[in-house]
């Protein structure tokens, strides 16, 4: 089954780790593989919540083997996964005394700012902790995606200044960013005031909400076929 296709060594080992985690999550022998997998996620800009939670649980059972650098990376990856609650899920598995360390206090503060939509404070704090965050490529971009997501839920039309603050860009770089979204995500720039018209979804356009329709899955109806037949 493993030899289905030619996979790069990295791909092969991550395939194996995921499988092992799915079958047998509480296996302390997996610890080194899971740690390597975290580093792999960082360098290849991929992500696996399940594997990371598994590692954090194993650290709970064997705290002397806990590697705080790895834990920090897991948390940063979890931040990048917003709006999913991965950060809280991970944090729950980390002992409080570890959370008291400086790098973790900073990450918790960053998470709090993101949870409360306080992007200006977030970027300020992130700048102060650049040395922790730059270890993980793609961090800024991931947060910008989250910011766009949150704005898209809330605004039909958002002032340029609000957007600028949320994605921590201005001037030419902001123009470039917006252009990219115009091309790929259906954003529209309002000519008069430069505000951004965000894509229409049921979340910012209530008339699009499918409220009255009801979806009954086929398999539910199939259960009564014997009765009707």
Partner 1 sequence: MGRLSRRVDSTIMASNYEFDDAPANYDDVQRQGGQDTVYDPNFVPDSVKSFVVHMYRHIREKNVYEIHQMCETSFQTLSERLFKDTPWPSVEAIAPFVDNDHVFCLLYREMWFRHLYARLSPTLKQRIDSYDNYCSLFQVVLHGVVNMQLPNQWLWDMVDEFVYQFQSFCQYRAKMKNKTEQEIALLKQNEKAWNVYGVLNFLQALVEKSTIIQILEQEKEGLEQFTATDGYDYSGGSNVLKVLAISPERKFSRCDTFDRYVDAVREFNKILLYIYKTKQYHQKSPQYEQLLKKNEQMYALLAVCLSLCPQTKLVDESVNSQLREKYGEKTLRMQRYDDEAFGIYDELFSYACPKFITPSAPSFEEPLVNYNQLLTFLTRTSQDAYRLQLKMFLYEVKQQQLLSGVRTFLKVYSSISLAKLANYMEVDEPTLRTILLTYKHKTHSVDSDGRIISNADIDFYINNDMIYVVESKPAKHYGDFFLRQIAKLEGVINDMDRVKLE
- Contact segment (CB under 8 A) with partner 1 among 6-14, 37-45, 60-68, 124-132 equals 60-68
Question: What is the DSSP annotation of 80-113?
Answer: HTTTSTHHHHHHHTS-HHHHTSHHHHHHHHHHHH
CB of 24 to partner 1, least distance (A): 6
Give the chain's length. Answer: 229
Here the tokens at position 32 are 């080194």
Enumerate residues 6+ apart whose C-beta is below 8 A from 84. Answer: 49
Question: CB neighbours (10 Å) of residue 127?
Answer: 10
Contacts (CB under 8 A) with partner 1, residues 79-98: 83-85, 88-89, 91-93, 95-97
Q: By rule CB under 8 A, what string of x and - marks binding of each residue 139-178 to partner 1?
A: -----------xx-xxxxxxx--x----------------
Residue 62 or 179: the one with the smaller Cβ distance to partner 1 is 62
CB of 8 to partner 1, least distance (A): 26
Contact 11, 18 (CB under 8 A): no
Contact 111, 126 (CB under 8 A): no
Contacts to partner 1 by CB under 8 A: 24-28, 53, 60-63, 83-85, 88-89, 91-93, 95-97, 99, 112, 115-120, 150-151, 153-159, 162, 195, 202-206, 209, 211-212, 214, 216, 220-221, 223-224, 227
């Amino acid at each position: 089954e493993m030899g289905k296709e030619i996979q790069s060594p990295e791909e092969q080992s991550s395939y194996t780790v995921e499988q092992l985690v799915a079958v047998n999550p509480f296996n302390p022998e997996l610890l080194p593989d899971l740690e390597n997998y975290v580093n792999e996620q960082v360098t290849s800009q991929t992500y696996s919540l399940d594997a990371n939670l598994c590692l954090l649980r194993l650290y709970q059972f064997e705290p002397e083997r806990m590697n705080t650098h790895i834990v920090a990376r897991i948390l940063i990856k979890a931040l990048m996964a917003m709006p999913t609650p991965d950060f809280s899920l991970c944090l729950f598995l980390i002992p409080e005394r570890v959370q008291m360390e400086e790098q973790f206090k900073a990450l918790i503060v960053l998470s709090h700012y993101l949870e409360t939509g306080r992007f200006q404070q977030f970027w300020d704090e992130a700048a102060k902790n650049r040395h922790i965050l730059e270890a993980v490529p793609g961090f800024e971009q991931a947060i910008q995606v989250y910011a766009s997501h949150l704005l898209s839920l809330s605004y039909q039309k958002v002032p340029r200044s609000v957007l600028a603050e949320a994605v921590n860009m201005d001037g030419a770089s902001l123009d470039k960013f917006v252009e990219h979204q115009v091309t790929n995500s259906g954003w529209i720039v309002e000519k008069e005031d430069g505000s951004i018209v965000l894509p229409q979804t049921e979340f910012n356009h209530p008339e699009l909400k499918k409220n009255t329709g009801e979806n009954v899955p086929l398999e539910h109806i199939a259960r009564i076929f014997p009765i009707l037949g």
